[in-house]
C-alpha cells in the first residue's frame, strides 16, 4: 500500500462547472520538474546558444530575447521585471552587450532624460538564430502532435502560467503587508 499523501486540487472553473475530475498534483509536479530540467539544464539551451554563435551566456541572451519579445526598446527596469531579476543584474548584462555592439542605448521619446535599450542588427540576428534553434527543437519534439493538440498545449500552458504567476504575486503582496511576518 502506498503511504504517500496525495494532494488534489481543482481550478475554481472546474469546480463551478461540476467537473468530477481533479488534477493529481503528485503526478503533475514531477513532470513539471522534468520539463524544467529538460529546458534549463539540458542541452536545449546550450545547443541553441552555440547555434546563435554570439558567445553569450544565458543571462545576456535572455536580455536579447526580452527585447525581441517586446518588439522594441525597453528601459533596464522593464527588462529586469520581465526577467524577474534585479536591475543591477540587467545593467551589467546590458553594459556587456553594448560593449559587444549587440545593443545600444537610445533616448526615450517620452522622457528625454531616460534611455531605452534596443538590439542592434547584429544583436537581433543573434537572437533570431537562438530562437530558431529553440523552435526547431520544440517542433521536432512535437512533430507527431496534431495541430489541435499543439493549440491545446499552448492555450493550457499559457493559462496555467498566468494563473500561477498571479497567485504567487498575490501571496507576495500579502507577505509585504504591514504587520505580516
Higher pLDDT, 134 or 11: 134
Query: Can you tell me the distance from the alpha carbon of 71 to that of 165, in angstroms, rounded to the nearest whole number?
Result: 22
Q: How far apart are CA 64 and CA 56, in angstroms?
A: 10
Residue 139 phi/psi, 5° resolution? -65, -40
- Output helix, strand, coil percentages for the chain, rounded to the nearest 5: 65, 10, 25
Q: Is the pLDDT of residue 19 over 80?
A: no
Q: How confident is the model at residue 22 (pLDDT cuts 50, 70, 90)?
A: low
CA atoms of 132 and 135, how far apart (whole Å): 5
Mean of the per-residue pLDDT values of the chain: 85
| pLDDT in the model for residue 180 | 63
Residues of the chain above pLDDT 70, percent: 85
Contact 106, 73 (CB under 8 A): yes
This prediction has a pTM of 0.74
Amino acid at each position: 500500500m502506498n503511504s504517500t499523501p496525495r494532494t488534489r486540487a481543482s481550478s475554481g472553473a472546474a469546480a463551478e462547472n461540476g467537473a468530477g475530475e481533479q488534477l493529481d498534483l503528485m503526478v503533475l509536479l514531477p513532470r513539471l520538474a522534468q520539463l524544467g530540467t529538460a529546458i534549463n539544464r539540458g542541452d536545449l539551451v546550450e545547443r541553441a546558444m552555440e547555434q546563435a554563435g554570439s558567445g553569450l551566456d544565458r543571462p545576456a541572451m535572455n536580455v536579447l530575447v526580452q527585447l525581441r519579445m517586446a518588439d522594441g526598446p525597453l528601459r533596464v527596469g522593464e527588462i529586469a521585471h520581465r526577467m524577474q531579476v534585479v536591475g543591477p543584474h540587467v545593467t551589467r548584462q546590458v553594459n556587456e552587450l553594448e560593449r559587444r555592439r549587440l545593443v545600444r542605448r537610445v533616448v526615450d521619446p517620452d522622457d528625454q532624460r531616460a534611455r531605452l535599450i534596443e538590439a542592434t542588427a547584429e544583436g537581433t540576428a543573434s537572437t533570431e538564430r537562438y530562437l530558431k534553434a529553440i523552435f526547431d527543437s520544440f517542433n521536432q519534439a512535437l512533430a507527431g502532435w496534431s495541430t489541435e493538440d499543439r493549440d491545446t498545449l499552448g492555450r493550457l500552458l499559457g493559462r496555467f502560467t498566468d494563473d500561477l504567476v498571479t497567485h504567487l504575486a498575490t501571496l507576495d503582496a500579502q507577505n509585504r503587508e504591514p504587520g505580516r511576518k
